[in-house]
């Protein structure tokens, strides 16, 4: 399933006829951290962050992946993710730390982690990335935690789920 979603996103980055974001979640026993990687179309993420800022009276132009990239781009992306992608581990909310980002073929890879966590027995996930903006937005979350793998699909009307390991 993970290969299919990555292949689908690779094809779609050229054409971009659909609204799709992919998230990979894994747990590192060594680091005691939930590690998260998001792959999102740059233009969609940029537009949504700018529209949200405008609705609160701010005029922001991110210019992601250009020499004019906003100096606060990382902080604005982290704030957006904190609002629209939330995880509770074993019933407790965690705060994510922005690790970094990379650009590739019209997409942005965003790396973050939830540090100092015990091995998950249960994850509560809220994923409404870009759902306010696009009625057909689909967010796929692939999990590799505690030796178990699986996938979840979030969309308008279905932005929360719980998975037990």
Q: Where are the domains of the chain?
A: 2-40+84-164
pLDDT at 137 over 70: yes
Examine the pLDDT at 75 and tell me if it is beyond 50.
Answer: yes
pLDDT in tens, 4-19: 444 444 444 445 678 9
Q: Which CB contacts under 8 angstroms, 24+ apart, belong to 57-62? A: none
- What is the rounded radius of gyration, in angstroms, for the C-alpha atoms of the chain? 16
Question: Residue 47 class from Cβ within 10 Å (0-12 exposed, 13-18 middle, 19+ buried)?
Answer: middle
| Number of neighbours of residue 10 by Cβ within 10 angstroms | 13
Residues 119-146 have a mean pLDDT of 95
pLDDT at 16: 60
Cα 11 from Cα 55, distance rounded (Å): 33
Cβ 103 vs Cβ 64: under 8 Å: yes
CATH code of the domain occupying 2-40+84-164: 2.60.40
Confidence of residue 78 (pLDDT cuts 50, 70, 90): very high
């Amino acid at each position: 399933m993970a290969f299919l979603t990555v292949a689908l996103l690779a094809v779609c980055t050229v054409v971009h006829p659909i609204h799709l974001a992919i998230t990979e979640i894994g747990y590192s026993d060594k680091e005691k951290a939930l590690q998260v990687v998001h792959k999102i179309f740059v233009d969609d993420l940029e537009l949504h962050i700018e529209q949200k800022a405008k609705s609160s009276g701010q005029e922001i132009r991110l210019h992601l992946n250009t020499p004019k990239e906003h100096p606060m781009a990382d902080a604005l992306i982290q704030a957006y993710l904190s609002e629209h992608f939330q995880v509770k581990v074993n019933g407790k909310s965690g705060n994510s730390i922005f690790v970094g980002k990379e650009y590739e073929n019209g997409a942005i890879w965003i790396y973050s982690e939830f540090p100092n966590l015990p091995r998950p027995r249960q994850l509560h996930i809220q994923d409404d990335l870009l759902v306010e903006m696009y009625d057909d937005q689909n967010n796929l979350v692939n999990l590799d935690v505690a030796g178990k793998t699986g996938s979840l699909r979030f969309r308008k009307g279905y932005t929360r789920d719980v998975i037990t390991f």
